[in-house]
Amino acid sequence: MDSASASFDSALIPEGVKRCKLKWFLLWIGILHGPVMVGVVATLMCWGLALNVTYLNNNFPFGLWIAADLGVIALGAGAFFTGFLRYILNIDELKNIVNFAVVIGIMCYAAAQAILGVDIGQPLRGWFIFWHANVHSMLTEVAFCITCYFMVLCIEYLPLILENRQINKIGFFHGMAHHLHEAMPTIAAIGVFLSFFHQGSLGGVPGVLYGRPFAFREGFLVWPWTFFLFILSAIAAGPCFTILITWITEKFARKRLVKRNVIDILARISGRLLVVYLVLKTIDTVYWVSIAGKVGAPFSSFYANHPYGYWVLVLELGILGVIPAIILLSTKARQNENLLVIACLLNCAGIFMNRWIMTVQTLVVPVMSFDKFVSYHPNWVEYASTLLYLWLGAIFISITYRYLPIFPQEKELNPL
């Protein structure tokens, strides 16, 4: 995407950086529209023909969609957490990646809300969650906080748009962008407050289900332990997702966009948080096993249903937890780009697997002794309508990267 020459849209491209020719850019966007169309068809099928076109059923009211929802919101935590580190803890180097973290955050939160719009049986009544809100429901808290935080993200994204070369020539917009930058610490603080709550509430969604011993956890006041574990796991994995997407963008752009020391700060913090999370998660698991056993559910009963055997626990905490933590804690390993990317990939996969377990495996484990085990796997409609937002996210990042100055170090790293 990086062969230089004057294009039809060159006046819109940020000053001092190179972008590929418009025809290659349009071709790339066109290619992405292929899977987008498949996703759009799948979505329209869900809306038009009802949810019988999926493999969801009465035993599995939650499936890929909800797991993906929880997953992308956790991965999008990189936005608020990087903002927290940059604006609240004042780690100045992170100003070089915080813009891109916001872009990734918008992508994730927009995806989460859109997937919910497909998942609910009556999308036109989606607003009932605000209008008839049940303050005792974790889902209500999630809906309010996610919506508010998405607005915060949009406000954080706005100055980037206003800094577009042409828009920024207009005095009003130039001033507005400046003032928004000035207000950014306050906006980031609001985002941090909202995000801590909804990340936690997402953990509360399975944690409060006292009819489901696999998911239920005791807790502190009204918050089950999963509330805190979800916050911790999200801030441990979110920065890794930011690193991962930055790396992919660099590969497509075929140039460095962020200095290694900036990436290293994020990776180091992510590694430390991952260790704390793993320790607390292990304590939680041991406590949960002892409590569940007392009321009649031996540990083995949770992992007795093929394919949800003990390997799930080993994979989630061991391979997708301990291994990336070791890599991210080691300075030498972090400096090896391949190892760093593998660690980030494993960390992100781990968080996704955790969300899958807390939603789908919760429903897999039969609660009544005479209940039959039923398996669930998503069908193409569910996959296509979920992956739709991955392709749309790629388009969004591509357009943002092409026309907006999101990487402050790009000029310095790639002089013309």
Partner 1 sequence: MLRNARQAGLEPIIPSFQYSIIPWPRPGFSLCGILHLLSHQGGPGFSFGGIVQLLSRQGGPIAKRSEASFYEGVTMKEAHHKGHGKTYKYGMVVDLDKCTGCGACMVACMAENNLPFRKDNSDRLRSSLWMRVYKISNGLPFPDMEISYIPRPCQHCEGHGHHAATPCVSVCPACATDYSHETGIVSQIYTRCFGCRYCMAACPYHVRIFNWWDPTWPKGMEKYLNPDVSVRMRGVVEKCSFCYHRLQRARNKAYAEGRREIHEDEYQTACTQACPAGAITFGDLDNPEHKVYELKKSRYAFRLLEELGTNPKVYYVSTRDWVRKAGDVYTGKKGNDVMPA
Distance, CA of 359 to CA of 348 (rounded, Å)? 17
- Contact by Cβ (8 Å): 53, 37: no
Interface with partner 1 includes 169 (CB under 8 A)?
no
User: Which H or E element spans position 219?
Assistant: strand 219-220
Contact residue for partner 1 among 7, 113, 140, 379 (CB under 8 A): 140
Q: How far is the CB of 366 from partner 1 (least distance, A)?
A: 6
- β-pairing, 223-224 with 219-220? antiparallel
Segment near partner 1 (CB under 8 A), from 135-143, 180-188, 239-247, 347-355?
A: 135-143
Footprint of partner 1 on 61-90 (CB under 8 A): 61-62
- Contact by Cβ (8 Å): 223, 198: no
Segment near partner 1 (CB under 8 A), from 30-38, 94-102, 114-122, 243-251?
A: 114-122
User: Which H or E element spans position 223?
Assistant: strand 223-224
Contact residue for partner 1 among 130, 287, 310, 311 (CB under 8 A): 130
Interface with partner 1 includes 399 (CB under 8 A)?
no
Footprint of partner 1 on 346-365 (CB under 8 A): 359, 362-363, 365
DSSP string across 182-207:
HHHHHHHHHHHHHHHHHHHHHHHHHH
Q: How far is the CB of 46 from partner 1 (least distance, A)?
A: 10
Contact residue for partner 1 among 11, 30, 90, 135 (CB under 8 A): 135
Q: How far is the CB of 303 from partner 1 (least distance, A)?
A: 12
Contact residue for partner 1 among 374, 377, 380, 399 (CB under 8 A): 374
Determine the straight-line distance between the first and last CA of the chain, rounded to whole angstroms.
Answer: 16
Segment near partner 1 (CB under 8 A), from 19-27, 51-59, 85-93, 385-393?
A: 51-59
Distance, CA of 300 to CA of 83 (rounded, Å)? 42
Contact residue for partner 1 among 118, 202, 209, 357 (CB under 8 A): 209
Q: How far is the CB of 294 from partner 1 (least distance, A)?
A: 9
Which residues in 358-378 are b (16+ Cβ under 10 Å) and which e? bbbbbbbbeeeeeeeeeebeb
Interface with partner 1 includes 11 (CB under 8 A)?
no
CA distances from 297 to 203, 226, 302, 357 (A): 22, 19, 8, 17
To 5 degrees, how large is the angle CA 128–CA 42–CA 52?
Answer: 65
Interface with partner 1 includes 379 (CB under 8 A)?
no
Segment near partner 1 (CB under 8 A), from 10-18, 26-34, 116-124, 339-347?
A: 116-124
Q: How far is the CB of 302 from partner 1 (least distance, A)?
A: 9
- Contact by Cβ (8 Å): 58, 376: no
Footprint of partner 1 on 302-341 (CB under 8 A): none
Interface with partner 1 includes 368 (CB under 8 A)?
yes
Q: What SS3 string covers 378-403?
A: CCHHHHHHHHHHHHHHHHHHHHHHHH
Contact residue for partner 1 among 26, 50, 276, 399 (CB under 8 A): 50
> What's the burial of 222, exposed, middle or buried (CB within 10 Å: 0-12/13-18/19+)?
exposed
Query: In 10 A of CB 220, how many CB atoms?
Result: 9
Footprint of partner 1 on 275-304 (CB under 8 A): 295-298, 300-301
- Contact by Cβ (8 Å): 299, 312: no
Q: What does residue 368 show for φ and ψ, rounded to 5 degrees? A: -80, 140
Interface with partner 1 includes 58 (CB under 8 A)?
yes
Tallying the residues shown for the chain, one arrives at 416
Contact residue for partner 1 among 90, 261, 338, 369 (CB under 8 A): 369
Interface with partner 1 includes 129 (CB under 8 A)?
yes
Q: How far is the CB of 219 from partner 1 (least distance, A)?
A: 11
Binding residues with partner 1: total (CB under 8 A): 56
Q: How far is the CB of 299 from partner 1 (least distance, A)?
A: 9
Q: How far is the CB of 326 from partner 1 (least distance, A)?
A: 35
Binding footprint of partner 1 on the chain (CB under 8 A): 50-52, 56-59, 61-62, 119-123, 125-126, 128-140, 143, 205-206, 208-213, 295-298, 300-301, 359, 362-363, 365-372, 374
